[in-house]
Structure formats: structure tokens, C-alpha cells
């Protein structure tokens, strides 16, 4: 597509800021694609953390869901090492204020809980094996010129033909990109995670089930409890989540049932805060720069699979850089075309998020769960929403029907006008 100045030439350097799943996947794809084209490119990843040392807690639950194994194999030529899997997840259970429902549906592939730092360390090692230079420095400045990019770090600096922003929602790196380019960080939700160590017996009794919660108290959009190897991870998300909201969540009746008796009244000591993008970044690409994964806000709206999206967008960016060039036009016509799988779903996802927030905020989620328990089509819809198995566009298309809309309106009438509580959900409580 590009000719001349914006083509990547033999021996050029591509610099990647961030060595999470997006950055590592992009670097691996750059090396593999270059080899396929019979070309040599130098790829440098700047990653400030050292995942191998497992020193810093990663803000992620570490659930890898389908089609992660296909993505790793098809896009990166990698197999997920069995040693990284701490648990195979078999089921999702959704809880509202009063009801609980096992979500039933089919996913093509398995869902795994892994150690997130272990997974990131694995991808970076694979990148290194292909000749990627991984430098543990922090990127502190950037100049994006018409002919090259200058990357400033807290160690040595680097000149590159293009820069890939794979820095997640890191505030400092976001500011560096905003300062040097028209890029603007995506809108996000705040998250808080805590870990509890309930002992082996309790974990075994919990089973391989992710407990997801949509409760009706302020500041909270959703929460979840995920069993890991020797602990459970509890996470909440919302615009204004805080340690206070976390405590309220932990003390709420639906959540208490899943906490070890001794820890039900405790205040956890360790909270970790993070962010979760809910919109696309503005100007997420331009001449000689492109952003991927969380930094680009290119993830499934409302509900995650953020690791899958980061790997996919990293791969799309690498293919564009080597085959079409590093101009704004190349990213617009090639990279963004590949990313349509995310961008086309954005408005549907926003609509679903609004509907879900409205339902939980006003206690209507009990009725939604009851309907899902009674109606297989609606059950499939809830399953796909929570697991993010299908696009929201597909979910809405497959679920929307006149009879379902009528049921929804009738339940809404009973809830908001007659103020009648929902009965139990079949298959739930
Ligand atoms: C609470 C929570 C739970 C989640 N759980 C899941 C889950 O279970 N499954 C799932 O698929 N997704 C989950 N996600 C989403 C997932 O974590 C992200 O979507 C995914 O990590 C995005 O990958 P990335 O490579 O774009 O960014 P990141 O993984 O954030 O990687 C960015 C990297 O850039 C580095 N970096 C940043 N700034 C600089 C700098 N200036 N210089 C050098 N390095 C820098 C950081 O150290 C980091 O390693 C969760 C998110 C949150 C907040």
C-alpha cells in the first residue's frame, strides 16, 4: 500500500512500548511475518516489569477463554504450556440480589485460569527466542517525526521506523503518547482486586466455577469471584469503585456465601487497583505510530477477553506494518479493517452495558435471571454476554424476537409498576 518513506525497509527497527500480551504478540508476529517475507527487522520491546521475578502483581484475574488456544496457534504458532494452567473453569454462575443462575451454553474450547505473570513471562520468552530485544526500561518520552521515531527511556534511547503502543491503560505512558501524537486514552472503568486464601478444602468445595455478580448497589457495575490455585480472586468494576465499595460487596448476602467463614467479617489487607477500557481510544493510529490492546480500547465492549483481543490486535498491527506500511493511511485501511471485529460491535456492546447497568441498578436483574431460567433462547443470550462468546451484534440478532420483547415489557411492568418481587429462577435459587 505505502510506497517509499512509509515502507519498512531491510534492517529497520520497530519499537514496542509494553510487553504484556499485546506487545509480546505484536513482536512475535513482526518477527514471524518478516521471516515469511524474507526480510530482517529489528524489534525492541520496552517493558518496565520483570514478569519472571513475579515481583509485581498483575491487575488481571488471568482467565483465558476460547478461542485462546486457536489464537495462540494460528497467530503466534504457540501452544499454551500445561504448566501455566492452575485450574480449568467449567461453569459461570450469575447472581443478582436475590437469585442465582447457572449459565448453560456451548463454547468451542476450554476456559483456563492461569498465573497472569507466568503467561506474560511465557510470551516474552517466546519473543526473545525469535530474536526480539526485550529491554526492561520505562519509556518516558517520544518524538514522532515524518522520517523516524525517537523513543526516550530511563536507560538508553532508541530510533525506530515506527512505534507500537502496547502499554495498556498505564497513565504515564498514555500521557507520553498524548503529548507526542494526537492519540487520546480510551474511557475506562476502575477495578479493584483482592485475594483471599481460604484453604484447599474450601477451594475444592467451590469447584471450577466463576461466580459473577450484578447487584443493585451504587458504584458497582459487576463483580466476580474466581477460584485460582491456592486462593480466590475477588474483583469489582465500576466508575467509582473504592475499598469501601469492595467491603460492601464482600459483606453483601450473595457474596458472603462464597467466602470462607473465617474471612466473612475480615477486612482484606491487600487491594490492587486497575482499569478496564470501555471505549475506543481517539486517534489510535497515525503516521509511524499505532496502538493495540487496552491502549487502543480495542477490546470487546462491556465484558472482557482482553487478553485475546490484545493478542489479536498485536498480530493485526504487525501484519499491517510489514505488508502495508506505517502511514496513517495504511493503518486506517488495513489495520482498522482487521479490527472491525471489535469496532463494529462497540455500539451494540454499549447498548447491552446500559441495559445491564439499568437492570441491576433498579433491582430488575432478579427478573432477568428468572426469564433466562425459563427461556432457553434468553439463557443462551445471557451465557454469551457473560462469557463474551459471541459478538453483541450476533447476540442481539439471535435473541431479539417479538415474544421476548413482550415478556421483557411485561416483567418490567410487574417490577416497576406493580412492584412485585421476582419468583425463583428454574435451575437456580
Ligand atoms: C481487574 C481486571 C481483571 C481482568 N481479568 C481478565 C481476565 O481474566 N481475562 C482476560 O482476558 N482479560 C482480563 N482483563 C483484561 C486484561 O488484563 C487486558 O485486556 C490485557 O492485559 C491487555 O493487554 P495489553 O497487552 O494491551 O496491556 P497490558 O497487559 O496492560 O500490558 C501493558 C504493559 O506495558 C507496560 N508498560 C506500561 N507503560 C510502560 C512504559 N512507559 N514503559 C515500559 N513499559 C510500560 C506495563 O508494565 C505492562 O506490562 C482484566 C483486567 C482487569 C483490570
Number of domains present in the structure of the chain: 2
3-state class (DSSP) for residue 368? helix
Find out whether the beta carbon of 173 lies less than 6 Å from any atom of ligand 1: yes
409 belongs to a structural domain: no
Q: Which atom of ligand 1 is nearest to the CA of 293?
A: 26
53 belongs to a structural domain: yes
3-state class (DSSP) for residue 96? coil
91 belongs to a structural domain: no
Q: Give the pLDDT confidence of 13-38 residue by residue, as tens digits.
A: 999 999 999 999 999 999 999 999 99
Answer whether residue 414 shows pLDDT above 70: no
Domain match, 193 and 338 both? no
Q: Which atom of ligand 1 is nearest to the CA of 292?
A: 26
Domain match, 26 and 147 both? yes
Q: Which of 317, 343, 369 is the last residue of a domain?
A: 343
The reported pLDDT for the residue numbered 164 is 98
Return the top range by mean pLDDT from 107-116, 272-281, 306-315: 306-315
CA angle 102, 104, 109 (to 5 degrees): 120
Looking at residue 334, the DSSP 8-state letter turns out to be I
Average pLDDT over residues 131-140: 97
Q: Which of 343, 365, 387 is the last residue of a domain?
A: 343
Domain match, 149 and 22 both? yes
Which residues on neighbouring strands pair with residue 44, listed in sequence order? 15, 133
Domain match, 270 and 282 both? no
Domain match, 43 and 132 both? yes
The mean predicted confidence, pLDDT, of the chain is 87
The grid coordinates of residue 166 equal 502496547
Helix (H) / strand (E) element for 399: namely helix 392-399
Q: What is the CATH number of the domain that holds 144?
A: 3.50.50.60
Q: How far apart are CA 56 and CA 136, in angstroms?
A: 14
Answer whether residue 323 shows pLDDT above 70: yes
Find out whether the beta carbon of 186 lies less than 6 Å from any atom of ligand 1: no
Q: How far apart are CA 3 and CA 287, in angstroms?
A: 13
C-alpha pair distances (Å), 283 with each of 280, 287, 291, 333: 9, 11, 9, 14
The reported pLDDT for the residue numbered 47 is 97
Residue of 378, 354, 364, 352 whose CA lies nearest to 410: 364
Q: Which of 316, 343, 370 is the last residue of a domain?
A: 343
Q: The domain containing residue 270 runs over which residues?
A: 189-276
The reported pLDDT for the residue numbered 184 is 98
Judge whether 151 and 142 are in contact, CB under 8 Å: yes
The reported pLDDT for the residue numbered 1 is 66
Residue of 15, 49, 48 whose CA lies nearest to 138: 48
What confidence tier does 5 reach under pLDDT thresholds 50, 70, 90?
confident
pTM above 0.85, yes or no: yes
382 belongs to a structural domain: no
The reported pLDDT for the residue numbered 333 is 97
The reported pLDDT for the residue numbered 416 is 63
Answer whether residue 421 shows pLDDT above 80: no
More confident residue, 299 or 131: 131
The reported pLDDT for the residue numbered 140 is 97
Of the ranges 6-15, 97-106, 323-332, which one carries the lowest mean pLDDT score?
97-106
Domain match, 168 and 32 both? yes
159 belongs to a structural domain: yes
338 belongs to a structural domain: yes
Handedness of CA 202, 205, 208, 209 (dihedral sign): negative
Give nearest CA residue, ligand 1 atom 9. 63
335 belongs to a structural domain: yes
The reported pLDDT for the residue numbered 79 is 97
Domain match, 258 and 121 both? no
The reported pLDDT for the residue numbered 180 is 98
Answer whether residue 101 shows pLDDT above 90: no
Domain match, 237 and 140 both? no
More confident residue, 359 or 184: 184
Domain match, 203 and 171 both? no
Residues 6+ away with beta carbon under 8 Å from 257: none
Domain match, 174 and 313 both? yes
207 belongs to a structural domain: yes
Q: Which of 46, 51, 58, 61 to mutate to test ligand 1, by most ligand atoms within 8 A of the CB atom?
A: 61
More confident residue, 423 or 321: 321
Domain match, 293 and 151 both? yes
Q: Give the pLDDT confidence of 142-152 residue by residue, as tens digits.
A: 999 999 999 99
Q: Give the pLDDT confidence of 361-374 residue by residue, as tens digits.
A: 777 788 878 887 88
Q: Give the pLDDT confidence of 137-182 residue by residue, as tens digits.
A: 999 999 999 999 999 999 989 999 999 999 999 999 999 999 999 9
Domain match, 222 and 158 both? no
Amino acid at each position: 500500500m505505502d510506497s517509499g518513506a512509509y515502507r519498512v525497509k531491510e534492517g529497520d527497527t520497530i519499537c514496542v512500548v509494553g510487553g504484556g500480551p499485546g506487545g509480546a504478540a505484536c513482536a512475535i508476529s513482526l518477527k514471524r511475518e518478516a521471516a515469511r517475507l524474507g526480510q530482517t527487522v529489528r524489534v525492541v520491546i520496552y517493558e518496565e516489569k520483570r514478569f519472571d521475578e513475579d515481583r509485581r502483581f498483575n491487575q488481571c484475574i488471568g482467565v483465558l477463554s476460547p478461542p485462546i488456544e486457536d489464537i495462540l496457534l494460528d497467530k503466534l504458532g504457540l501452544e499454551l504450556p500445561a504448566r501455566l494452567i492452575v485450574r480449568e473453569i467449567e461453569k459461570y454462575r450469575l447472581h443478582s440480589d436475590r437469585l442465582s443462575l447457572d449459565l448453560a451454553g456451548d463454547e468451542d474450547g476450554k476456559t483456563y485460569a492461569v498465573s497472569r505473570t507466568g503467561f506474560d513471562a511465557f510470551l516474552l520468552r517466546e519473543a526473545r527466542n525469535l530474536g526480539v530485544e526485550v529491554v526492561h526500561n520505562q519509556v518516558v518520552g517520544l518524538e514522532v517525526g515524518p522520517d523516524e521515531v525517537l523513543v526516550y527511556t530511563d536507560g538508553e534511547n532508541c530510533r525506530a521506523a515506527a512505534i507500537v503502543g502496547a502499554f495498556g491503560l498505564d497513565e504515564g505512558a498514555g500521557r507520553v503518547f498524548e503529548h507526542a501524537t494526537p492519540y487520546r486514552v480510551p474511557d475506562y472503568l476502575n477495578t479493584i482486586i483482592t485475594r483471599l486464601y481460604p484453604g484447599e478444602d474450601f477451594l475444592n468445595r467451590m469447584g471450577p466455577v466463576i461466580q459473577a455478580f450484578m447487584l443493585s448497589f451504587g458504584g458497582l457495575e459487576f463483580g466476580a469471584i474466581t477460584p485460582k490455585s491456592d486462593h480466590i480472586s475477588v474483583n469489582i468494576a465500576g466508575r467509582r469503585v473504592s475499598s469501601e465499595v469492595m467491603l460492601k460487596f464482600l459483606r453483601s448476602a450473595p457474596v458472603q456465601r462464597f467466602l470462607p467463614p473465617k474471612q466473612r467479617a475480615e477486612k482484606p489487607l491487600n487491594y490492587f487497583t486497575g482499569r478496564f477500557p470501555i471505549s475506543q481510544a481517539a486517534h489510535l493510529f497515525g503516521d509511524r505510530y499505532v496502538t493495540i490492546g487496552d491502549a487502543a480500547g480495542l477490546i470487546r465492549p462491556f465484558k472482557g477477553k482482553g487478553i485475546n483481543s490484545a493478542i489479536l490486535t498485536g498480530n493485526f498491527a504487525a501484519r499491517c506494518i510489514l505488508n502495508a506500511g506505517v502511514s496513517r493511511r495504511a493503518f486506517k485501511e488495513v489495520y482498522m479493517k482487521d479490527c472491525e471485529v471489535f469496532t463494529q460491535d462497540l455500539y451494540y456492546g454499549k447498548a447491552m452495558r446500559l441495559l445491564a447497568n439499568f437492570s441491576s441498578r433498579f433491582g430488575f436483574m432478579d427478573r432477568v435471571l428468572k426469564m433466562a431460567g425459563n427461556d432457553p433462547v434468553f439463557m443462551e443470550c445471557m451465557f454469551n454476554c457473560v462469557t463474551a462468546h459471541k459478538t453483541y451484534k450476533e447476540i442481539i440478532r439471535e435473541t431479539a424476537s417479538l415474544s421476548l420483547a413482550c415478556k421483557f415489557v411485561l416483567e418490567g411492568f410487574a417490577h416497576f409498576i406493580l412492584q412485585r418481587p421476582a419468583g425463583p429462577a428454574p435451575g437456580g435459587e
